[in-house]
Amino acid sequence: MHEISCVQFLQSTLPQMRMRWPGFRRVRRHVCRRVTARIRELDLGGLAAYREYLAGNAGEWEVFDRMCRITISRFFRDRQVFQPLAEQVLPALIRQAKERGEKTIRCWSAGCASGEEPYTLALIWKLLVPNAGRCALKILASDSDPAMLARARTACYGRGSVKELPEPLLARGFARKGKHYFLKPEFRDRVEFVCQDIREGCPPGPFHLILCRNLVFTYFSEELQGEMLARLHSLLLPGGALVIGIHESLPATGLFAPWPQGAKIFQKC
């Protein structure tokens, strides 16, 4: 399959699933390889035949949707996000919680893939947040892919997944066996995983912190982004924080204001 043909196919089909082509530009080859494999699996002649197959088989849209899921994830991905989270945002959320008489900080990692993001949050809470002992931490992590969640629950990773972790966090957080790194139970047990597609529903809030990175504001259509942002806003407590991907931007709704010191971290207005 020629890449140009696949790009044209994606540009015409993604909007029908309320997704946007620009978000897939950098990962187009991954998706095109999956589409090519699917065409071979169905023994179809090419993209034109696959278009017809999609038009005549409603269930195939679910298969195509799964082919468009991007699951790239690493521990401590984007240091410029996690450093201010540990040093400023989480301590501020703890102070807010104590003022309201709350004893637990509730966090949600949306689109968690194989668990690196919520587990990073558990690591920095225990090892970097200065006043973490004043509150308990509860992390809910969701993803629509059962296979990714199964991997997340094992909490076993290769070197590529942990290469961006600062060495002190890697040494204290993991037990190494050969080429594999096993997250220690004291961090693993802080995270609860649920299978859920954010487009179909969200876990019940309220939350003090929501991490929604490299998902809604990369791949979804602008209209759907606006709908999802309103939903995320409703799930956050007053003064709560929303974290998005380092290359993402929020729709201009006035629902959030940039956190004073923190890349792509926003506070509920």
Instruction: Give per-residue pLDDT as tens, 219-258.
Output: 999 999 999 999 999 999 999 999 999 999 999 999 999 9
Q: What is the pLDDT of residue 121?
A: 97
Does pLDDT of 148 surpass 70?
Answer: yes
b/e per residue 248-266 (b: at least 16 CB within 10 A): bebbeeebbeebeebbbbb
Instruction: State the span(s) of the chain assigned CATH 3.40.50.150.
Output: 79-268
The class of domain 79-268 in CATH terms is alpha beta
Kindly tell me the number of DSSP H helices and DSSP E strands found in the chain: 13, 10
For the whole model, what pTM was predicted?
0.95
Q: What is the pLDDT of residue 144?
A: 95
Helix H or strand E encompassing 104: strand 104-110
What percentage of the chain exceeds 70 in pLDDT?
A: 100
How many Cα atoms are found within 13 Å in the side-chain-facing hemisphere of 27? 17
Using CA atoms, how far residue 56 sits from 1, 48, 50, 53, in Å, is: 22, 13, 10, 5
